[in-house]
Amino acid sequence: MYTSRITGLGYFVPENIVTNEDLSKLMDTNDEWIQERTGIKERRWIEEGSNETSASMGVKASKIAIERAGLSKDDIDFIVFATLSPDMYFPGCGVQIQEMLDMQTVGALDVRNQCSGFIYALSVADQFIKTGMYKNILVIGSEYHSGGLDVTTRGRGVSVIFGDGAGAAVLSRSEDSSRGILSTHLHSEGKHARELTVESPSIAHWVPELLNNPDDISYFPYMNGTFVFKNAVVRFSEVIMEGLQANNLSVDEIDMLIPHQANLRISQFVQKKFKLRDDQVYNNIQKYGNTTAASIIIALSEAWEEGKVKEGDLVVLAAFGSGFTWASAVIRW
Q: Which residues pair with 12 in a beta bridge?
A: 166
Q: Write down the catalytic residue from 136, 185, 260, 263.
A: 260
Using the rule CB under 6 A, is 72 a contact of ligand UT7? no
Among all residues, whose Cβ is closest to ligand UT7? 225
Phi, psi torsion values for 207, nearest 5 degrees: -55, -45
Q: Which residues pair with 186 in a beta bridge?
A: 327
Q: Which is nearer to ligand UT7, 165 or 321 (CB)?
A: 321
Q: Which is nearer to ligand UT7, 7 or 267 (CB)?
A: 267
> Which letter does DSSP use for residue 46 in this model?
P
Residues 219 and 198: beta-carbon distance below 8 Å: yes
* Binding positions for ligand UT7, 36-65, rule CB under 6 A: 37-38
Q: Which is nearer to ligand UT7, 189 or 209 (CB)?
A: 189
Q: Which is nearer to ligand UT7, 107 or 225 (CB)?
A: 225
* Binding positions for ligand UT7, 133-172, rule CB under 6 A: 156-157, 160
Q: Which among 51, 282, 310, 64 has a CA at the least distance from the CA of 168? A: 64
Q: Minimum distance from CB of 143 to ligand UT7 (Å)?
A: 11
Q: Which is nearer to ligand UT7, 69 or 262 (CB)?
A: 262
Cis peptide before 208 (omega within 30 of 0): no
Using the rule CB under 6 A, is 225 a contact of ligand UT7? yes
Q: Which is nearer to ligand UT7, 65 or 327 (CB)?
A: 327
225-246 and 264-273 helices, crossing angle to 10°? 40
d(C-alpha 182, C-alpha 247), whole Å: 7
d(C-alpha 60, C-alpha 101), whole Å: 9
* Binding positions for ligand UT7, 191-220, rule CB under 6 A: none
Q: Which stretch binds ligand UT7 (CB under 6 A): 120-128, 211-219, 260-268, 306-314?
A: 260-268
Question: Sheet holding 256-259: strands in order across?
Answer: 180-188, 325-332, 314-321, 256-259
- Counted residue by residue, the chain has a size of 333
User: Under rule CB under 6 A, how many of the chain's residues touch ligand UT7?
Assistant: 19
Q: Minimum distance from CB of 259 to ligand UT7 (Å)?
A: 10
Distance of CA 236 to the CA centre of its chain: 15
What is the three-class DSSP state of 102? coil
* Binding positions for ligand UT7, 282-321, rule CB under 6 A: 290, 321
Q: Write down the catalytic residue from 20, 93, 113, 115.
A: 115
- Draw the binding track, 90-129, toward ligand UT7 (x: CB under 6 A; -: no contact): -------------------------x--------------
Q: Which is nearer to ligand UT7, 33 or 222 (CB)?
A: 33
d(C-alpha 259, C-alpha 243), whole Å: 13
Write the CB contacts of 316 (distance below 8 Å, at least 6 apart in sequence). 240, 243, 244, 254, 256, 257, 258, 328, 329, 330, 331
Q: Which of 4, 29, 96, 113 binds ligand UT7 (CB under 6 A)?
A: 29
What is the three-class DSSP state of 228? helix
Any catalytic annotation for residue 260?
Answer: yes
Q: What is the dihedral of CA 181, 76, 53, 198, to 10 degrees?
A: -50
Using the rule CB under 6 A, is 226 a contact of ligand UT7? yes
Q: Which stretch binds ligand UT7 (CB under 6 A): 125-133, 259-267, 279-287, 309-317?
A: 259-267
List of residues contacting ligand UT7 (CB under 6 A): 29, 33-34, 37-38, 115, 156-157, 160, 225-226, 228-229, 232, 262-263, 266, 290, 321
Active-site positions? 115, 260, 290
